Amino acid sequence: MPKFLLLILLCVTALYAERDTIYVEQITRDTVYIPIKPKTDTIYVVGDSAPAPTCCKPTEDNPFGLDTTKFLRNDTNYIHHSLYIGADVFSLLNTLLGNVTIVADAELAFSRKNSLMINFQYAKKVPSEDYTENFIKDDYSGNISQFIFGLGYRHYFRPAKTSSMIELGLNAQFRHSDYTYHPRWKQDMVPTVAERNRQGIQPYIHHGFIRRSNYVTCGFEYGFAYNMLSKDGNILKKHVMYLADGLQIDFKLNVSVGLL
């Protein structure tokens, strides 16, 4: 076969030969940006118009700039007055029992943690019908009265609405005794008349818990006082509150009102 015809035959065969198709997959990638929300702290403020607390910034009540957000439920969001006038509700019980007792105080608040206390107390003891006492009506007539005036320093452990406190002070005492002793079982005995005025001092220490609001403050306090007066014999031997000789126990349920 001539070479020319062979070349033509090969070209025709190659033209009609089976061809393979190759598919190339095209991958398209999109870039998606996901914004990350920055971490924020949620601060809860008590009250509709209460300012947000400053954290880590030294203030008068927080000189070291401590984080106080955990105390926001009991924070300093209340009106702080410079003068409070208060009275002891618990002493009214003694008055109802027949012995007039008035316990009052004035608080000059220099800050939310420091105050000067001005104390006032008046107590009057008359012979009782209770035979468990020594100053009984069948043997005595007359009365014993006492007036107390003094100063104290009160320190609140927190500048918050609710706080514990400690108070130290010194009172001046003025006691007047005017009674007659004539025991019923000694009818022929000449009555003994006691009439004297005495003065002394009374140091005291109290601890308690205070709840302060915008205008009214309530508190419970307890403690001890010591009366440095000469003894009244057996008359006040069984007394431990208000009118007492020596060691005295104090309980106060105080309610005060902010004025200035």
Distance CA 260, CA 258 (A): 6
Q: Is the dihedral of CA 143, 181, 241, 95 positive or negative?
A: negative
Q: What is the mean pLDDT of the chain?
A: 81
Other residues' Cβ atoms within 10 Å of the Cβ of residue 129:
9
CB 162 within 8 Å of CB 209: yes
Q: pLDDT grade, residue 53 (50/70/90)?
A: very low
pLDDT for the residue numbered 206: 98
Rounded Cα–Cα distance for residues 140 and 56 (Å): 67
> Model's pTM, two decimal places?
0.68
Residue 47 is predicted with a pLDDT of 47
Q: Model confidence over 103-154: pLDDT tens digits? A: 999 999 999 999 999 999 999 998 888 777 888 888 888 999 999 999 999 9
Residue 49: predicted pLDDT: 47
CA 206 – CA 155 distance, rounded (Å): 11
More confident residue, 42 or 231: 231
Q: What is the pLDDT of residue 3?
A: 57
pLDDT given at position 50: 47
Compute the C-alpha angle 14/17/19, nearest 5°. Answer: 115
- Which of 20-34, 96-110, 191-205, 238-252 is least confident? 20-34
Return the pLDDT at 183: 76
